[in-house]
Amino acid sequence: MPAMIEADNLTKYYGSLLGIQGLSFQMERGEVLGFLGPNGAGKTTAMRILTGFMPPTSGSARIAGYDVNTQSLEARRHIGYLPETVPLYTEMTVTDYLTYMGTLRGMASKQMAHRIAEVIGVCHLEEYRLTYISKLSKGFRQRVGIAQAILHEPDVLILDEPTIGIDPIQVVETRQLIKGLGGNHTVILSSHILPEVSMVCDRVLIIHEGRVVAIDTPANLSAHLRSTQRIEAEVRGPSAEVMPLLRELNGVQDVRRQGDGLVATYVIEARPGADLREPIATLVVQRGWGLLRLQSVEMSLEEIFLRLTTSEEQ
């Protein structure tokens, strides 16, 4: 079976400003993927490309086998989308709004009433079906937004920060609602809250400043974080000598070399806790080699994680 969503090297620049760079991933039917990243990471940009709202600067994406750029209309038929701002026509009642969106999504009028009753039940909006949207609280508007996204039973659901700005009890309910949607739908949701994506998602894609930092299951990501720490060192020196001496350093578990010749990048896996940057620098300098770059790679991921973990308390 082909993948439900395929993103291939999606890149988007706003003028000269980077939105996202080189985003690639695949999703199977029924999977729930979380885009995790701080504000400005590029989550909304990625979603707007996938939903066909705007074309990527380069790269391509397919929804249910249809290219979002060249077969936009077909691709859009398979998508339910909740934008970050939860746009609603406030002068309409909940039922009128859902009927309108259902019509535009190509639903037959015969099934409409039945299906609207169904999603109103799923989203717990029974008491508000004839209420004007302008009279609803933020949390209930969010539910109306989710209701319009799932109304036409799309294969793919894209929810941009579905729990932002609503009160804690509604957050819990909304998360449960979304969790229940996986299985029938292929879901992408974005969030800047780590516990939320770990709770709801099968896989997490971490974006930072437009670039993918990691993509894996929540369990693997945290296990990986606990077990190792990675340092990249770009060194000018004979690799036959550099490799063994780096391996001998206390705390080093593995060293790989990228590139050959006199200047190469060494990727050093180390035990967590030990910061090996100083010993490495000392070693290189003592030997008279050139140290061109020294960077703790996993540290940045950890930092992102830390920021994400703490932001929910705010």
Partner 1 sequence: MRNIWAIAWKETKTYFASPMAYIVGAVFVGITGFFFVDAISVPFPVASVRGFLDRAVLLVMPVWAPIITMRLLAEEQKLGTLELLMTAPVRDYEIVLGKFLATLFIFLGTLLLTLWFVLLLFFFGDPDPLPLLVAYLGFILYGAAALAVGLLASSLSPNQIVAAAVGFGVLLLLTFMQQAADQVKGAASTILGEVALTGHMDDFLRGILSTKDVGYYVSLVALFLFLTVRLVESRRWR
**List 2, 28, 70, 91, residue binding partner 1 (CB under 8 A):** 91
Check binding of 45 to Mg ion (CB under 5 A): no
Provide the minimum distance between the beta carbon of 146 and partner 1 in the complex, in angstroms, as a whole number.
13
The identity of residue 282, as a single letter, is T
Instruction: Give the torsion through C-alpha atoms of 249, 253, 255, 256, to 10 deg.
Output: 180
**Residue found under tokens 């439900």:** 4
Identity of residue 11: T
Binder among 20, 63, 101, 204 for partner 1 (CB under 8 A): 101
Both structure tokens of 83:
């934008």
Q: Per CB under 6 A, does 43 bind ligand ADP? A: yes
Q: 128: which DSSP letter?
A: G
Cα atoms found within 13 Å of the Cα of residue 142, Cβ hemisphere only: 21
Among the candidate windows 70-78, 219-227, 243-251, 257-265, which touches partner 1 by CB under 8 A?
A: 70-78
Size of the site for partner 1 (CB under 8 A): 28
- 44 scored as a contact of Mg ion (CB under 5 A): yes
Q: What is the DSSP letter of 264?
A: E
CB neighbourhood size of 122 (10 A)? 16
Nearer to partner 1, 104 or 306 (CB): 104
According to the binding rule CB under 6 A, does residue 17 interact with ligand ADP? yes
Q: According to CB under 8 A, which one of 51, 170, 186, 296 is a site residue for partner 1?
A: 51
DSSP 13: E
Which positions from 105 to 144 touch partner 1 by CB under 8 A, shown as an x/- string?
Answer: xx--------------------------------------
Q: How far is CA 314 from CA 26, 39, 192, 288, in A?
A: 33, 14, 12, 49
Of 32-40, 116-124, 132-140, 145-153, which part binds ligand ADP (CB under 6 A)?
A: 32-40
Helix (H, G, I), strand (E, B) or coil at 70: coil
| Total residue count of the chain as it appears in this document | 314
| Contact call for residue 37 and ligand ADP (CB under 6 A) | yes
Residues near ligand ADP, by CB under 6 A: 14, 17, 19, 37, 39-45
Binding positions for Mg ion, rule: CB under 5 A = 43-44, 84
